[in-house]
Structure 1
């Protein structure tokens, strides 16, 4: 009985911490410097429709959406984690060089419409329906089904 009570207390503590995430709308100038630089370099002609800062107990994330429906998620340091074109092409300059070269060489008619970055690698969606996986060194691994 005592173990159940302790587990219940721990579970309720974690639940309350996860519920306490704060979402606020911010300006581009309030983004971390890395995120600002990324946006200026790869999306110079786009103005964000909105930018949301999501602050949780142990992390902060930023989400930028443009009027053309492209969404970019950044970590607390301003490093991009995901670029989602929502079925439209992502600028080639925003795609890591080896991945962009691989796609261009092997799928000449395709465009990257989404890219997710994690510690282990990248997942890349193409407008032809394929999803490609690359390791963290941008080396092609496989087509994901």
Structure 2
């Protein structure tokens, strides 16, 4: 029994190492980004050139990270859909914020700006410049303040 457990543990560890060893990070140009990502950057970051763009290719997924000279970072999935925009404590473009979230913020946190927004299948996480981190569901409805 112990031999089978050790063999299984070694097999799992070997697979995990193999998957992580297959990760490849390369620097690419803006033209090499998926079309959705290029459109997003043209729309929300017109006139700004990235400092660098990294393509992170792993065994089962590909992600992209774009950083601008003002330290704003944008992360995209393999299809070029944005997953996170991080202004690194400075305001991000307001047009990125979904309307329901923007309406909630205007009504409940007037005179604040969004410094970071991330989204996944559960919803959105929004950091505002007063230090709060707010969570919204996938429809943009406020759910809670995260500590």
Q: Structure 2 length normalisation: TM-score?
A: 0.95
Structure 1 stretches (4+) deviating beyond 4 angstroms? Answer: none
- Map 1:96-135 onto structure 2 (within 5 A): 96-135=98-137
**SS of residue in 2 equivalent to 1:82:** strand
What is the CA–CA distance in structure 1 between the aligned matches of 2:126 and 2:50, rounded to whole Å?
A: 23
- In structure 1, stretches of 5+ residues that fail to align are none
What is the CA–CA distance in structure 2 between the aligned matches of 1:105 and 1:43, rounded to whole Å?
A: 27
What whole-Å deviation, never above 9, does each CA across 1:53-107 have from its counterpart, x for those lacking one? Answer: 0000000000000011100000000001111100000010111121122112221
Q: How many residue pairs end up in the alignment?
A: 145
**SS of residue in 1 equivalent to 2:88:** coil
Q: Does 2:96 align with 1:94?
A: yes
CA RMSD, 1 decimal? 1.0
What is the CA–CA distance in structure 1 between the aligned matches of 2:142 and 2:115, rounded to whole Å?
A: 17
What is the CA–CA distance in structure 2 between the aligned matches of 1:74 and 1:45, rounded to whole Å?
A: 19
- Map 1:26-41 onto structure 2 (within 5 A): 26-41=28-43
Deviates more, 1:121-130 or 1:6-15: 6-15
- In structure 2, stretches of 5+ residues that fail to align are none
What is the CA–CA distance in structure 2 between the aligned matches of 1:99 and 1:31, rounded to whole Å?
A: 28
Among 45, 51, 54, which residue is 2:53 paired with?
A: 51
Per the TM alignment, residue 127 of structure 1 is displaced from its structure 2 partner at its CA by: 0.5
What is the CA–CA distance in structure 2 between the aligned matches of 1:79 and 1:55, rounded to whole Å?
A: 16
Per the TM alignment, residue 125 of structure 1 is displaced from its structure 2 partner at its CA by: 0.4
